[in-house]
Amino acid sequence: MEVPGEKLLIKLWDTLIDRGVGGLLKPWQIRRENRAKLEGLVHEKVALAEAERIAEKVRRGELELGAIPGIEPLALSAPTAAPLQLEHGAAASTSTHLDPVAVAQRVQLADTIRNEVNVAKAILVAENELEQSTAAEPDKSIDVDWLYRWRDYAGAASAENLQFVWGKILAGEVKAPGKYSLRLLEFVRCLDQSDAQVIERIAPMVLVRSFIFNEKQGAPYPVSFADILHLEAIGIVVAAAGPPPVNALERNSDGVTVWDCHNRAIVVRSPTTHGDVGLPSTQLTQLGSDVLRLGEFKADEEYLRTVAKYFKGMQGVEAVLIGDYEVSDDGSFRVTNLEDVN
């Protein structure tokens, strides 16, 4: 039985195999044939955890390189523990020096194992994302330079939340090659905890994936001015001087505009003969919009009702409703469970 995203999964693994990426995992097709998915997922996680333990033991010097299957230690021309005489006055001590080549080999091997484990974990996230997708298989393939850059950056991410982000990026690029720029990869690589915390604070208030409601000059409610300056400094928003610019949406034939905010949306109905329905706002950059797509956020309900009430006070607006928002891979959407804003 074909899973929804089977063609995308095959596309992913054809790309990875061609470029030698993800060597710790067997291709998805083979793993699917060999064992049930749940059993296979447990097997993969156990194997990756064991690889991490091996890497840590190698790094601490608790495991000889020759004890690892498939690894042959570098042949050395000199003894690795030759006596070293240290003279100080009449006293003398005997020490043992470490061979720098052996130490370097051990550290390099531990780093390589760790990087491969991190890449494999990110690939598993991408697989899970693609398996649920109903998007059509793209004609293009991932750019080879992009893939190698992704591998290097994902390999350096040991934190689970970052591995999740790198997996989401890979899945998105498989579905639409060229979707995520090299600049985005560089930004995510350099993202620190303070950057991530500020982005998480503003994410639930981003409307139409591109701006934040900002009724007055300064910081948009309820975001602090310090957060806006931080976001501007890292290239996420454009903090315009003077009155905030107005973002307007085109109405459909029934005079309706839909202002989505992650899992929720505001539906505004106004006569088509009336002027544009718009919001004063702080604008996200293209990079900011791309970064926000990587996370899974929910709308801030209090903020959403504040925006809805602003619409309700506009001249010519006949009705304002809030409902649940769902969007498909093909870009179509629906708003359900609509309720009036009081």
Of 49-58, 105-114, 232-241, where does mean pLDDT reach its minimum? Answer: 49-58
**What is the chain's mean pLDDT, rounded?**
79
Give the per-residue pLDDT at 273.
59
Give the per-residue pLDDT at 59.
58
| 28 against 161, higher pLDDT | 161
Picking from 237, 234, 240, the residue whose alpha carbon sits closest to that of residue 217 is 240
Query: Is pLDDT above 80 for 103?
Result: no
Buried/exposed code over 19-35 (b: 16+ C-beta within 10 A; e: otherwise):
eebbebbebbeebeeee
What integer is the mean pLDDT of 79-106? 52
The residues facing 326 across adjacent strands are 334
Give the rounded percent of residues in the chain with a pLDDT score beyond 70. Answer: 70
Asked whether the beta carbons of 261 and 211 are under 8 A apart, the reply is no
What integer is the mean pLDDT of 122-139? 89
For 334, phi then psi, to 5°, come to: -145, 150
2-19 pLDDT, tens per residue? 667 888 988 998 888 888
pLDDT band for 147, please (50, 70, 90 cuts): very high
Say which residue the tokens 């990087």 belong to: 115
For 318, phi then psi, to 5°, come to: -95, -35
CA–CA separation, 260 and 241 (whole Å): 26
CA–CA separation, 337 and 59 (whole Å): 56
Give the per-residue pLDDT at 44.
61
The radius of gyration of the chain's CA atoms, rounded to the nearest angstrom, is 27
- pTM (two decimals): 0.71
CA distances from 263 to 198, 266, 280, 335 (A): 20, 11, 22, 10
Query: Is pLDDT above 90 for 70?
Result: no
Q: What is the dihedral of CA 306, 311, 312, 318, to 10 degrees?
A: -150
What integer is the mean pLDDT of 111-121? 85
The residues facing 256 across adjacent strands are 269
CA–CA separation, 204 and 198 (whole Å): 11
Residues 6+ apart with CB under 8 A from 87: none
CA–CA separation, 146 and 124 (whole Å): 19
Query: Is pLDDT above 70 for 64?
Result: no
279-333 pLDDT, tens per residue? 888 899 999 999 998 888 999 999 999 999 999 888 888 899 999 999 887 778 8
Give the per-residue pLDDT at 38.
45
202-239 pLDDT, tens per residue? 999 999 999 998 876 555 666 788 888 899 999 999 87
- Locate 317 and state its tokens: 């607006």
